[in-house]
A = this chain, B = another copy of it.
Amino acid sequence: MTDPIDFYFDFSSPYAYFAAQKIEEVAMEYGGREVEWHPIMLGVVMKSTQNQPLAHQPLKGEYAVMDWARMARYQNMPWKLPEKFPIASLAPSRAFYWIADQDKIQAKNFAKACFHAYFAEGRDITDVDTVAAIGAAVGCNADDLRQAVADNAIKERLKDETWAAVQAGVIGSPFFIVDGEKFWGSDRIWMIKYWLKRGGW
């Protein structure tokens, strides 16, 4: 099978930051699959599971903060827990879909740059000007991007994409669907490798 790997994530999710660094390489190595990136509003998804952001949960939140730092070290990735965290990542998510409609590769570069800006540099990606600057750095027109993010059609688009994710069974971030099979978490990437190698169960 050669269907794309669907990769659902929220820009505010540390484990998505870690997964985003790996999934394209895994898809390439095992079967040369395309990866479709789908930013979503995790807050909406969590309503369906009655879940809370990790950082807001007693004890689990403290464990997670430690686990992210260790994960970054073991994956050799820069890491700094942002001052403002978690965030509603509307601006980068909307910008992503606007870019993706023109150029999917550019949109992925933009997404990686947003993750880096937020989790490595501590920049505030809820700010449209910051997001426009990140877009400009990967070759977008900053003014067009700013306008697009304010556009009603793009706002609806992000809602539709989030709703479609919920309908597809997405319950967290990062979340992957491969040939209809669901994988939740950056710590399930080894299973995705198995799946691609074995061609299923």
Interfacial chain B residues near A141, Cβ < 8 Å = none
A184 in the interface (beta carbon within 8 A)? yes
CB-based contact B171/A59 at 8 Å: yes
CB-based contact A70/B191 at 8 Å: yes
CB-based contact A74/B187 at 8 Å: no
Known: A187-B185, A187-B187. Is A60-B66 also a contact (CB below 8 A)?
no
Known: A73-B201, A201-B73. Is A60-B171 also a contact (CB below 8 A)?
yes
CB-based contact B63/A182 at 8 Å: yes
A50 in the interface (beta carbon within 8 A)? yes
Interfacial chain B residues near A201, Cβ < 8 Å = 70, 73
Which of B58, B73, B185 is in CB contact (< 8 Å) with A49? Answer: B58
Residues 176-189 of chain A, each 1 if its beta carbon lies under 8 Å from chain B, else 0: 00000010110110
CB-based contact A171/B63 at 8 Å: yes
A48 in the interface (beta carbon within 8 A)? yes
Distance in angstroms between the alpha carbons of A201 and B66 in the assembled complex: 12
A21 in the interface (beta carbon within 8 A)? no
Q: How far is the CB of A67 from chain B (nearest CB, A)?
A: 8
Residues 47-78 of chain A, each 1 if its beta carbon lies under 8 Å from chain B, else 0: 01111000001111001001100110110000
Distance in angstroms between the alpha carbons of A201 and B48 in the assembled complex: 37
Known: A48-B58, A58-B49. Is A74-B191 also a contact (CB below 8 A)?
yes
Distance in angstroms between the alpha carbons of A49 and B191 in the assembled complex: 28
A85 in the interface (beta carbon within 8 A)? no
CB-based contact A74/B194 at 8 Å: yes
Distance in angstroms between the alpha carbons of A74 and B58 in the assembled complex: 32
List the 7 closest pairs (A to B, CB-CB), nearest first: A187-B187, A49-B59, A59-B171, A74-B194, A49-B60, A49-B58, A50-B58
Since A70-B191, A73-B201 are in contact, a sample of 12 more A-B pairs with Cβ atoms closer than 8 Å, ordered by chain A residue number, is A48-B58, A49-B58, A50-B58, A59-B169, A63-B169, A63-B182, A63-B184, A66-B182, A70-B201, A74-B194, A185-B187, A187-B188
